[in-house]
Amino acid sequence: MTVHLEVADGVGTLRLDRPPMNALDIAVQDRLRELAGEATARADVRAVVIRGSERVFAAGADIKEMRAMDHAAMIERSRGLQEAFTAVARIPKPVIAALTGYALGGGLELALCADLRIAAEDARFGQPEIQLGLIPGAGGTQRLPRLIGPSRAKDLIFTGRHVKADEALSMGLVDRVVPAAEVFAEARALAVRLAAGPATALRAAKEAVDAGLETDLDTGLTLERTWFAGLFATEDRDYGMRSFVEDGPGKAVFWPRG
């Protein structure tokens, strides 16, 4: 298999496994969509880490495979490509990308589907599709400007240049930079922490932020208000408020609970 889902301690790890560079061919794309659906459905998965190997997260699409496709074939395939990545973005649980080595082209677009990105100090990022006479086709022209702003996104897309981890951090492309040997442990530790949180509230927070960015402020506030009030019907809200009153702030552990 080119992608694996490994589950432990409430964390589902989606691991890319297509040596040497984790090129995102059609088989990888289809497997990602399948496993994103599984991670969404499984109750024992409360947070997700997506990672590659120690050497590389994903260096982009399989160019040899793409070169063999004509216009008609790509019209058909481009929808499947976007749907695979969108399936990852729509996992209704916290998703953390652990970024090592290169995250280029489709690799960066996949990282953009995560909620948070932790990068190795020696990681490199970029959207080099312009150097192939193309533009990003798996969400880069849409998710990247929403994350770092249109001007910075256009700089990366127009030039195809690579960005080092420190610059990626300064522009908001990644959220943390750590030594390469610590990336996976850091991502997993954060995922374990989030897995112990209130699952419905985390889902509500993710949906409110993501959907709110796609609409006007009044509609977004209505969405927030609806989720906020709805959470008062959950056991987690009862437990969280009781813990705050009886034990003090920050003491609640929502999962596992005895």
At which residue do the structure tokens 């001007």 appear? 151
Question: In the β-sheet with 124-126, what is the strand arrangement from edge to edge?
Answer: 102-104, 124-126, 163-164
Residue 241 has pLDDT above 90, yes or no: yes
Closest CA to 4 of 23, 20, 28, 21: 28
Residue 258 has pLDDT above 80, yes or no: no
Residue 84, class by beta-carbon neighbours within 10 Å (0-12 exposed, 13-18 middle, 19+ buried)?
buried
Tens digit of pLDDT for each residue in 99-142? 999 999 999 999 999 999 999 999 999 999 999 999 999 999 99
H or E stretch including 41?
helix 26-41
What are the catalytic residues? 109, 129
Tens digit of pLDDT for each residue in 154-166? 999 999 999 999 9
CA distance 62 to 68: 10
Tens digit of pLDDT for each residue in 63-110? 999 899 999 999 888 998 999 999 999 999 999 999 999 999 999 999
Domains of the chain listed by start with CATH number:
3-195 (3.90.226.10), 199-247 (1.10.12.10)
Q: Kindly calculate the radius of gyration of the chain based on its CA atoms and give it in whole angstroms.
A: 19
Q: Name the pTM for this structure.
A: 0.96
Average pLDDT over residues 32-58: 97
